[in-house]
Amino acid sequence: MSLGILFYLTIHIVINSMKMILIRQMTEMEIKTITLPTRQIEVEVYAPAQSSEKTPAILLLHELFGILDVYREDAQDLANRGYLVYVPNLFSGGAVKYCIRAMVSKAGRINSADSEVNQEIHVLLDALKVDPRSNGRLGMLGQCLTGGYVIQMAKREDMLAPVVYHHSLGIEGAGVPKKESLDRVRILQGHWSTVDPFCPATKRNKLIQQLGDRVEAYTYNMPHGFRSVSRGLPEAKVVWQRTVDFFDRELKQNA
């Protein structure tokens, strides 16, 4: 990763940390700490207002720039629709340190099932599933840096609604090591850009080919960053509506 990207990332983290103080004051968002195998991580929790019933639960993962306010808006929108949402700060303990683990280590780069970062996602999903407000029905959304994690988590029997946006990792094949099978993936919804240097068409097409009719695949003629830099584009609204419809169908209607 170049020094320019690291500097840009650092600036975003500092600015976002300042904004987070204001967000906490304006919402009923809860902050909880979850213990992972090698560290502790802060998780923002968004829950349906004034609901005593257990609800489906969604793990919402941020992109390279950490937890931005736009992701908080998405989490709140999902909570308003009746979902319990966890938004983990994967950069707890340092953004650069995390990116080194995710992008520099071989297991991270190729998105190996047993990589340290994927094991952390398993722990987060397990914690979300047993949250007293959760009914145990799990969904997930990952994008860019975290999109590949969704493919690995889609192998879980309890992952009912996995959604991936333009996965940049892993760098091999379809986004997982070539030696790893995707036979255990039951369903996946995927959204990709046709003009994306971080997730080229070859990677996307390999994943679609391997999954066959188990993937709902959509492509869009807009840049990478569907919920961030491209958020205001008309097609980004289509992406979000399809995502929400998928969650509703798989986590509520098919219950």
| CATH code, 177 | 3.40.50.1820
Buried b (16+ CB within 10 A) or exposed e, 123-156: ebbebbbebeebbebbbbbbbbbbbbbbbbbbbb
Q: What is the pLDDT of residue 51?
A: 74
Asked whether the beta carbons of 86 and 45 are under 8 A apart, the reply is yes
For residue 202, the Cα-to-chain-centroid distance in whole angstroms is 22
For residue 6, the Cα-to-chain-centroid distance in whole angstroms is 21
∠ at Cα 167 (127, 151), nearest 5°? 50
Q: What is the pLDDT of residue 1?
A: 45
pLDDT along the chain (255 residues), means of 10: 47 47 54 94 93 92 87 95 96 74 67 89 98 97 89 97 85 78 95 78 85 94 75 87 97 86
Strands 134-143, 84-88: parallel, antiparallel or unpaired by DSSP? unpaired
Helix locations, 35-115, DSSP H: 69-80, 95-99, 106-109
- In terms of residue numbers, what domain contains 26? 3-253
Q: How many domains does the chain have?
A: 1
Q: What is the pLDDT of residue 101?
A: 67
pTM score, two decimals?
0.85
Q: What is the pLDDT of residue 213?
A: 96
For residue 67, the Cα-to-chain-centroid distance in whole angstroms is 11
